[in-house]
């Protein structure tokens, strides 16, 4: 028996980093593959895998994983009713966004923040490609950044071409395991290459047809900046869907709403049309931003319509 850190998955085989510094490949043991959970991937990058040797082939096998401290999960884009664990045992997240080319909406930001808030994983919001912003873009970015900084999220502004914010971003990674997330084309890999050129992560441009990023990362993968500092690069995604979350839970994962919940008249308040709702009152008084409340309502309706299917 042995154990190691899962650093990459290609579906059939997993790259494992052992405590002695050696990297090996392992496959799932049969019983683990037959787990009746709704996860499309029973083992994720960041998991601490329990290993044993196949007595017939001498291949390494993953027979189990240690209990996770946390994880980031979304509904599977390919399998209805299933969920995909993006990564596990994370210290913090970097949510990389751009105001344009491609556009990162506040709806996308809020959906990801909910997943991180579910496990109280700190998230830093990074607005990249500062060199491409005109005055209108700068005003729009400032308005969005203001929404999130007011509710406690740290905001960083970066540009690979201008070397802006790169050292500040690198300092945030030290001695942590950090998940890097965002749409394709926002510059995740370019930022990481700027921080550490030895990574040599593959980068890509934008599709000229849809003004969207072209996928360059196929699987989530962990990289070591040193033994104490790790990043998990993830495939760019267009949407972020939730599952296994009850509609009444959603407001608990909106940071500015959480502290107001006890002030609602009803314990099961949905903050939609109930009287004496502290969340609606905070929205009407400007304490909660119009954008965030609108996104809350959209997510609430989306999860409400799918919840019975997921149960």
- Co-location of 171 and 48 in the same domain: no
Is 240 contained in some domain? Answer: no
Is 239 contained in some domain? Answer: no
- Co-location of 76 and 219 in the same domain: yes
Do 153 and 125 touch, CB atoms closer than 8 A?
A: yes
Do 39 and 250 touch, CB atoms closer than 8 A?
A: no
Is 58 contained in some domain? Answer: yes
Is 238 contained in some domain? Answer: no
Is 241 contained in some domain? Answer: no
- Co-location of 90 and 213 in the same domain: yes
| Residue 192 belongs to domain with CATH number | 3.40.50.300
- Co-location of 209 and 169 in the same domain: yes
Is 304 contained in some domain? Answer: yes
Query: If you ran DSSP here, which 8-state letter would residue 186 be given?
Result: S
**Domain endpoint, select from 65, 82, 113:** 65
Is 254 contained in some domain? Answer: yes
pLDDT at 215: 39
Task: Output the CA–CA distances (angstroms, integers) from residue 283 to 92, 280, 296, 297, in the order listed.
Answer: 29, 5, 11, 12
**Domain endpoint, select from 11, 44, 65:** 65
- Co-location of 86 and 214 in the same domain: yes
- Co-location of 211 and 265 in the same domain: no
Please report the DSSP string for 253-280 in residue order. Answer: GSHHHHTTGGGSSSTT--SSS-SS-HHH
Do 202 and 255 touch, CB atoms closer than 8 A?
A: no
Residue by residue, pLDDT tens for the chain (311 residues) are 799 999 998 777 999 999 888 999 999 987 665 455 667 788 999 999 999 998 889 899 999 999 999 999 887 666 666 778 899 999 999 999 999 989 999 999 999 999 999 999 999 999 999 999 999 999 999 999 999 999 999 999 999 999 999 999 999 999 999 999 999 899 999 999 999 988 888 765 433 333 433 333 347 899 999 888 999 998 876 666 665 678 889 999 999 999 999 999 999 999 999 999 999 999 999 999 999 999 999 999 988 887 654 44
Closest CA to 172 of 184, 180, 160: 180
Tokens representing 287 are: 């304490």
pLDDT at 74: 80
Tokens representing 93 are: 């997240």
- Co-location of 212 and 251 in the same domain: no
Can you say how many angstroms the Cα of residue 15 is from the centroid of all Cα atoms in its chain?
21
Range of the domain at 190: 72-233
Do 212 and 102 touch, CB atoms closer than 8 A?
A: yes
- Co-location of 88 and 227 in the same domain: yes
Is 11 contained in some domain? Answer: yes
- Co-location of 91 and 217 in the same domain: yes
- Co-location of 167 and 184 in the same domain: yes
The total domain count for the chain is: 3
pLDDT at 80: 66
pLDDT at 310: 45
pLDDT at 220: 85
- Co-location of 28 and 134 in the same domain: no
Separation CA 155–CA 125 (nearest Å): 5
**Domain endpoint, select from 65, 86, 112:** 65
């Amino acid at each position: 028996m042995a154990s190691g850190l899962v650093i990459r998955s290609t579906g059939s085989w997993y790259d494992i980093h052992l405590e002695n510094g050696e990297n090996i490949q392992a496959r799932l043991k049969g019983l683990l593959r037959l787990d009746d959970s709704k996860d499309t991937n029973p083992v994720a990058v960041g998991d601490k895998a329990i290993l044993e040797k196949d007595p017939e082939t001498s291949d390494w096998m993953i027979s189990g994983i240690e209990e996770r401290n946390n994880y980031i999960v979304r509904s599977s884009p390919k399998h209805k009713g299933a969920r995909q664990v993006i990564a596990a045992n994370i210290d913090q997240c970097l949510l990389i966004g751009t105001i344009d080319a491609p556009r990162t909406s506040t709806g996308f930001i809020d959906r990801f923040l909910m997943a991180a808030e579910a496990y109280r994983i700190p998230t830093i919001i990074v607005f990249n490609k500062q060199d491409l912003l005109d005055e209108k873009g700068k005003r729009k970015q400032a308005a969005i950044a203001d929404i999130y900084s007011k509710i406690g999220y740290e905001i960083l502004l970066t540009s690979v071409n201008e070397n802006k914010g790169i050292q500040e971003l690198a300092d945030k990674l030290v001695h942590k395991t950090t998940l890097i997330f965002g749409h394709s084309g926002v510059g995740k890999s370019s930022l990481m290459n700027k921080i550490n050129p030895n990574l040599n992560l593959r980068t890509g441009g934008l599709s000229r047809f849809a003004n969207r990023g072209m996928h360059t990362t196929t699987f989530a993968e962990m990289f070591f900046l040193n033994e104490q500092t790790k990043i998990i690069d993830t495939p760019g995604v267009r949407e972020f869907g939730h599952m296994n979350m009850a509609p009444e839970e959603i407001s608990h994962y909106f940071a500015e709403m959480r502290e107001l919940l006890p002030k609602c008249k009803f314990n099961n308040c949905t903050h939609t049309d109930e009287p004496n709702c502290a969340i609606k009152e905070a929205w009407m008084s400007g304490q909660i931003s119009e954008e965030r409340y609108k996104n809350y309502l959209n997510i609430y309706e989306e999860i409400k319509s799918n919840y019975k299917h997921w149960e």
